Chains A and B, each alone.
Chain A
Amino acid sequence: MKLPISWLNDWIETDAAPGRIAEALTQLGFYVGGIETRGHAFPGVVVARVIEVAKHPNADQLSLCRVDGGSGELSVVCGAPNVRAGMMVPLATVGAKLPGGLVIRRSKIRGEESQGMLCSASELEISDDAEGILDLERWAGSSGPLTIGRPFDELLEPPDAVLEVEVPFNRPDGLGVVGLAREVRAALGARWTGAATARLAARWSGRADFDLDLEDREGCPRYIAQAIEGVRIEPSPPWLSGRLESMGQRSVNAIVDLTNLILLEFGQPLHTFDLARLAGPAIRVRRARAGESLVTLDGRSRALNPEMLVIADRERAVAVAGVMGGADSEVTRATTSLLLECAWFDPRTVRRTSRALGLASEASKRYERGVDPEIGPAAAARFLGLLREVCPSARLAAARERNHLDGRRRTLQLRPSRCARLIGMDLGGAEARRQLESFEFQVESGDPLRVSVPSWRPDVSIEDDLVEEVARGHGYDRIPESALASPGTRPVRSERERRIARARAAMLARGLNEAWTPTLVSEREAADAARLVGIDPAHLTRLMNPTSRESEVLRPSPVPGLLRACAHNLRQGASAVRLFEVGTGFRAGEGALPDESTWLVALVCGARYAHAHDEAQQPLDFADARGSWESWLEEMRVDSPEWRAYSADGWKPGASAEVATRTSRIGWAGTLHPSLLRGWDIEVPVHLFAVLLDALAPLAAPTRVSLPGRFPPVRRDLAFFVPAATTHHEVKQTLIRAAGDALQSIEVFDVYSGPGTPEGMKSLAYALQFQNAERTLNETEVQGIQNRMVMAVTKKCGGRLREK
């Protein structure tokens, strides 16, 4: 909402600078985002008369004028074709400064002296018209007599500051100049102007012979209809069009402009019908009939339904109540009689209608927030008063008012103690009363205070709303700042928080950057990610109202965003992409809400080292990736995770696994299938690790320590030939079970299946370490354990010891 200071001054007496007014409004919660200046000063530009026009001796396009600017005749060279003797013009004298910054100097133009410049409207920046010199006698913007030598400034409104005010949703009164004036008045202690007092006290009263019926009293409890005859549709006078322009609105004609002026001033929308186009003439305010339709002022045909409130005549709907008028009852140049509507519509009805039609207007914006139900008669009176000014031929004819509002103001109680408790300082009843009265609440003293709420304040409906008024009036800046005490609470870091913090730190330590990727992804992206972890794409959750195809489905895991980021970085020339994210994944749930789970997904591809200039620099492979994920699991204290072969769409066959603990499956890992990657525009192998963080066992239980052995360990290496299909996992478990407690560690150190290996076999070599907690192991004992281990592999895995 714009607030021109000139308009404000029409209502309240203040000489505060625009900056001070802006600050006062901001402090009250009407944030002023900017101040612009409209119009210009024209130092050195005067009203002048052209005495004589002669051709310039040296230039065909120029003329040589003798001009009277009030202080002697001047000679001026002019290039405009429309200049003629006797014309009244704006003359920029020597030293004048034009709005564009041009300073006028005495000069010679093609050998002839010019002692000033005759100006066009565009040179003065009062319109875009650059066609010729501004003819002051024809110029509609002029006001006051065209006395030769008179400063041009005096023909125009002085420059005006316009504040850009952000009006809170709950303050419909702020959508009118009068409402903002009330706030400024309270803040600055200013008085209403005499004219303002008279306008606020004025009440419309009319004859009672117009055919008006409110069929839906809930949707429309109040309606003033006033017929006006003898109307001539003419352009607005400059003061009216200028005022609308300062609010950023275009002038249409005097009648339409006047309704807009009242809307902007009082926040009360008005509508005018062409009376001759109303059947009856009559007005019925009713619900639309099924199948009814209306072409609105914007030229579009609107299908109506019985949820919607319409203004109708005897036959058909002529306006969507509170939203927009109909095209065929619109005021046109041919209109000679009007029906003025000044009504109060139920905010919810207007809002529903406006939303259902997808149609909003300055009127609907105000009605749906709540127009002052008592302002109608004053607004109608103001309209008619100004109508006499802009259209003297107009005569009032039939009229009627229907009013079913009870007209009682809301009364609330305010305990000064409640005020003190919420604000944190005791202002006392008297100060509370003073602040409330400054905003025109009526207050009866006592404890509690009895407070009557002004009709224009639908936002104030409970005691705490009054507390805000008191705090606002007193000034939020004057509320003290208290020390921070916290009785009865203590901060706790949950197990889950600590687990997530550890998960992130452990990934960072493995040289992966943390990513935060979008939740909303495309259908294809989400489906790819779902299949990888065995989620049926049918169980994805979709937005009903997406804003783009790229973001219409909730991700099942952070995989889609990470693949997007991977592709982006590779396109940008990254030699490696190493990213992880901790984020939410979604899938359809049992009830209305989707299931949400917290994932950690890690993605790596590209060079093994950030830098290496020797043969160590290779693209990292699955073993590199898996190694870092294993160590991550260890850091997360995952108890003996098992890696099992797993296959699903999107993984490279034979290069993917699921990871499980004894109790549950916690994640998936592997290399992605090249065909999936091609869909993401990725040409290099990408390794992925996806873990359900909620499935990890809690970190909460403190570790019970087990003492490191102190007796000398014994090391042995054992190598076996085992059938090619036998996994390392099987052999290792067999060895561990056969060895018993003395086996401290077992590591595979060689896997081989080249020449020298028997047909259908492979070689697995293990480094073993034995230790006893109580004593030194002797050779015989170790040999015994070793024999059991070899035996077990022979029996259970079909393998045999590989002799040296």
Chain B
Amino acid sequence: MKKRDSHPRSGVFPEAWDRGPDPETLVPGQAAKLAELREIAPPRAADYERASRGLAGAADPAELLERHSMILGRERGQVTLALGEVGKLPIEERKRTGRALNLIKRWLAEISEARRSQLEAAADSRSGPDVTLPGRRPWVGRPHVLAQIQSELLDLFHGLGYSVYESRESELDEYNFGKLNFAPDHPARDAHDTYFLSPGVVMRTHTSPGWVRAMEERRPPLRLVFPGRVYRAEQVDASHMDQFHQIDGLNVGPDVSMADLKGTLNTFARSIYGERVRTRLIPIYFPFVEPGCQMDVSCVICDGRGAVTENGSERRCSVCRGSGWLEVLGAGMVHPNVLRAVGYDPEQVTGFAFGMGLERIAMLRHGVPEIRLFLENDVRFLGQF
């Protein structure tokens, strides 16, 4: 393409460049620039527009470089050449053309640079990692579901003023039974299928021997919880384990009553089973409390209705067996014989106690169908909690 005169005119750059995109998205203000050029050097406006589209439409870095050289190259670039010619122009035209060409040079350089960054960014994103691939992931550990429930209960009772007392798992018969008011040869012992280590030494069948040890060590008032593993000599099946977990609570002081017990148990029930849960206390016999009671909560599955709706028809709730109630804990006022056995005076202090099983809570809360799962430690089970 030969210069016919000192003014590069339309047609200096290939017509095909006109199909390039409006550079407005690369560098804003294109319309204003064109207007300004038409004002000061109208013949240059068309060349500018084509060149700017040519730069914006360069398909890859090589093409961009080629076009950039053709337009702005230090020796052979059309704008550079045109600027070299400016001195030959008449004085008043020299000024306007010089200004227009300098603007064109700056504006096109900006567009060229913007297109270059854009093309580089696109190239980077093609050569970078596939972000949809998974990363190098370390293992994640989860606390055991029973540990979570135990922590939740200990936190709850901590808030109610209870400290933890950890007591032994192997225990003297005297602490597991005798001092808890199980008379020798009493049938109540039959409810506790007991593992013996030697005559007079047992695996504790409940966490209650901790009361005796704590009360023998300390003076009232006291508020303690006793978490831990207990043992019953039972055949293991889906709903029975010979090793399971309980938490007992004990509150002994000058005027502790069943009304206090009820307040505590209802707080527990609402915290663990939800604010809407209904509770009831019914009498039950344990040798170590008098009066004794059992707390039931409204069934968490059927909401106490005793029936569930399944595919539009009513069926008896299998969890509460239609009764609408679930037994969740045993409780009562500490038996005066137990207080006497630890050297407390039942006329000076009274107390309440309660006990519950962790597995029961976990099974209800998470729908765990088999008690054996808790000690099996299948990682596919553990990882869910």
| Chain A contacts to B: CB under 8 angstroms | 26-29, 31, 33-34, 168-171, 348, 351-352, 368-369, 421-425, 459, 462, 464-465, 467-468, 471-472, 476-477, 479-484, 486-494, 496-497, 504, 507-520, 541-548, 551, 554, 561-562, 565, 568-569, 572, 574, 576-580, 584, 586, 592-594, 596, 609-614, 616-617
Contact = CB atoms under 8 A, between A and B. Distances in A.
Given A511-B139, A511-B141, A514-B382, A497 B200 contact: no
Interface residues of B, number: 91
A519 B169 CA distance: 10
Interface stretch (B24-32, B57-65, B261-269): B261-269
B212 to A, nearest CB: 14
Given A481-B262, A491-B163, A568-B378, A519 B229 contact: yes
A701 B255 CA distance: 37
A425 B259 contact: yes
A296 B235 CA distance: 29
B16 interface: no
B326 to A, nearest CB: 13
A586 B170 contact: yes
Contacts of A584: 169, 229
B221 A487 contact: yes
A116 to B, nearest CB: 33
A486 B172 contact: no
A91 B288 CA distance: 61
A421 B283 contact: no
Interface of B: 133-144, 146-147, 157-164, 166, 168-172, 185, 187-188, 190-191, 195-201, 203, 221-223, 229, 231, 233-236, 242-243, 253, 255, 257-260, 262-264, 266-267, 280-285, 287, 290-294, 321-323, 333, 335-336, 350, 374-380, 382-383
A490 B259 contact: no
Contacts of A546: 195, 233
Nearest to A166: B284
A617 B137 CA distance: 10
A518 B196 contact: no
Contacts of B263: 481-484
Given A29-B282, A479-B281, A508-B142, 19 more contacts: A31-B284, A33-B323, A169-B188, A369-B187, A422-B333, A424-B258, A462-B290, A476-B258, A481-B262, A488-B253, A496-B166, A513-B383, A520-B243, A547-B242, A569-B378, A572-B380, A592-B172, A611-B134, A611-B137
B141 A168 contact: no
A298 B236 CA distance: 29
A2 B170 CA distance: 38
B187 A487 contact: no
Given A489-B161, A594-B197, A476 B283 contact: yes
Contacts of A554: 170, 197, 203
Contact of B170 (A28, A462, A593): A593
Given A34-B321, A508-B142, A513-B142, A612 B259 contact: no
Nearest to A30: B283
Given A425-B259, A518-B243, A543 B195 contact: yes
21 contacts: A29-B285, A352-B185, A422-B291, A424-B258, A465-B290, A467-B291, A468-B283, A489-B163, A489-B221, A511-B141, A513-B377, A516-B146, A520-B243, A541-B197, A544-B195, A545-B196, A547-B236, A568-B377, A579-B377, A580-B141, A609-B137
Nearest to A486: B161
A201 B136 CA distance: 86
A40 to B, nearest CB: 21
A791 B143 CA distance: 51
B137 A612 contact: yes
Contacts of B136: 609, 611-612, 614, 616-617
Contact of B135 (A489, A511, A611): A611
B282 A494 contact: no
Contacts of A425: 259
A422 B383 contact: no
B37 to A, nearest CB: 56
A509 to B, nearest CB: 7
A487 B255 CA distance: 10
B238 to A, nearest CB: 16
B336 to A, nearest CB: 6
A493 B281 CA distance: 31
Given A508-B143, A515-B377, A592-B172, A543 B257 contact: no
A424 B197 CA distance: 42
Contacts of A472: 283, 291
A491 B162 contact: yes
Contacts of B139: 511-512, 576, 578, 609-610
Contact of B197 (A468, A542, A617): A542
Contact of A592 (B201, B284, B294): B201
A468 B255 CA distance: 17
B257 A421 contact: yes
B144 A516 contact: yes
Given A424-B257, A520-B243, A596-B169, A511 B138 contact: yes
A198 B204 CA distance: 50
A308 to B, nearest CB: 14
Given A510-B141, A543-B197, A610-B137, A424 B380 contact: no
A659 B343 CA distance: 44
B304 to A, nearest CB: 14
Nearest to A489: B223
Contacts of A488: 221, 253
B141 A509 contact: yes
Contacts of A464: 290-291, 333, 335-336
B132 to A, nearest CB: 12
Contacts of B190: 169
A629 to B, nearest CB: 14
B377 A512 contact: no
B330 to A, nearest CB: 12
Contacts of A617: 136
Contact of A547 (B171, B234, B255): B234
A489 B143 CA distance: 31
Nearest to A510: B141
A519 B222 CA distance: 30
A594 B170 contact: yes
B258 to A, nearest CB: 5
Nearest to A492: B163
B131 to A, nearest CB: 14
A516 B147 contact: yes
Contacts of A348: 185
A148 B300 CA distance: 55
A551 B232 CA distance: 12
Which of A169, A170, A517: most chain B Cβ within 10 A?
A: A169
B374 to A, nearest CB: 6
Nearest to B148: A514
Contacts of B234: 547
B117 to A, nearest CB: 32
B178 to A, nearest CB: 14
B158 A493 contact: yes
B293 A476 contact: yes
A496 B253 CA distance: 26
A482 B262 contact: yes
A700 to B, nearest CB: 16
Nearest to B292: A468
A471 B162 CA distance: 27
B255 to A, nearest CB: 6
A572 to B, nearest CB: 6
A513 B143 CA distance: 6
A519 to B, nearest CB: 6
A517 B137 contact: no
A469 B253 CA distance: 23
B290 A593 contact: no
B291 A484 contact: no
Nearest to A355: B185
A314 to B, nearest CB: 31
B161 A547 contact: no
Nearest to A552: B195
Contacts of A497: 164
